Structure 1
């Protein structure tokens, strides 16, 4: 499903990642690792956001050879989303609807699901950290992709929203969608049936 080979990433002289191969099949996966270990960097590589050495393929689509098609099959929600503060929540969502050619009905249902509909006509600068996180999750689930990458999706949201997120992930997984999650909080099989747990250690991705 996803394969990465000969991955190397440096920021200046500081090497963050250096590994030969990491592959995952369809499913739900948890990527562990402390701050500064390279989780977010790996996510940005996989989603085609930063330059790197190596190759990344998703369902036979090569990131370097067909970057537009590749990126259209992945949705990435950052740990700390940053949007223009003067933009309204609805305007951001409309942008995602257009770029991902999504159905308005799907998005309205997502906004209701995360209880954000009453706030979408407010500017993002007025949002609390929890509202901002829920907005980023709504955007992440807009459209139809193969792989969802959720970096620290549970931070700043309440228990009710976390339970809703778990339920949504399970529903999407039953539809054949795949997930890579990172979380400082433990993710147990009582919450999600994980297909694998990995950790970044000494610039390598290892299976636990």
Structure 2
């Protein structure tokens, strides 16, 4: 497995937000991390990318622990946050160059991939633009370009559809399929359950920092058939006591 979250307890203070959370993501699959606001999705992601230290349990990426191999662990992950994080003093070109340096990529190969992605997201004429010139959707596309330039083992995508137009959403989903075919593992947090239902291979449903259910849509439908057939009904039934 690429990502293994084992008995994770943690959060931002001594009072844990996550309580004994365990799940995994295999190579070549897209797993949807499903939860309402405050369920613990962002806290889970922040633990995986190393911004928070677990109070208990452990997280392995590509069989690596952050504490034992920080450089290898972080190079195995590509992360697209919900809110784009760009440097206002750097152009789009300079953001790409910084990504190449940070991940020690081969410059020629990386730029070839970057130009393909820039063309896909209609940013090829914007290399000299600064973030102040970009809309929120365009900033999100810059984050996608910088992440998918990498040959990461694990892609973590937090609420990727916010701010994207339908064409960009389609292009992003196609990119995800390509990475899956190449053997990458993808963890995607989203509120857009209708899209998640159509695209994810498995689901991890959390509520109040605890695992409520996990499995494929068919497995969840079979186990929780009294709640309904679609992902939203199943999740609300599990968490709201319907």
Q: TM-score, normalised by structure 1?
A: 0.92
| CA 1:172–1:20: 2 relative to 1, 3 Å | closer
Aligned residue number for residue 136 of structure 2? 129
1:108 aligns with 2:111: no
| CA 1:13–1:49: 2 relative to 1, 3 Å | closer
1:89 touches 1:122 (CA, 8 Å); kept in 2?
A: yes
1:39 touches 1:200 (CA, 8 Å); kept in 2?
A: yes
Deviations 1:131-159 (A, max 9, x none): 00101111111221111000011110100
Aligned residue number for residue 42 of structure 2? 40
2:8 counterpart SS class: strand
Name the one with the larger helix percent.
Answer: 2
RMSD over aligned Cα atoms:
1.6
Aligned residue number for residue 25 of structure 2? 24
Aligned residue number for residue 6 of structure 2? 5
2:5 touches 2:60 (CA, 8 Å); kept in 1?
A: yes
Counterpart-to-counterpart distance in 2, 1:188 and 1:55: 27
Number of positions where the alignment pairs a residue of Structure 1 with one of Structure 2: 206
1:48 touches 1:67 (CA, 8 Å); kept in 2?
A: no
Name the one with the larger strand percent.
Answer: 1
Q: Where in structure 1 are there 5+ consecutive unaligned residues?
A: none
Aligned residue number for residue 229 of structure 2? none
Larger Rg: 2
1:55 touches 1:64 (CA, 8 Å); kept in 2?
A: no
Aligned residue number for residue 77 of structure 1? 80
Deviations 1:110-142 (A, max 9, x none): 111111111221111221101001011111112
Counterpart-to-counterpart distance in 1, 2:149 and 2:51: 19
Aligned residue number for residue 138 of structure 1? 145
Counterpart-to-counterpart distance in 2, 1:51 and 1:29: 23
Counterpart-to-counterpart distance in 1, 2:16 and 2:197: 34
Counterpart-to-counterpart distance in 1, 2:65 and 2:13: 26
Aligned residue number for residue 163 of structure 1? 170
Moved over 6 A (4+): none
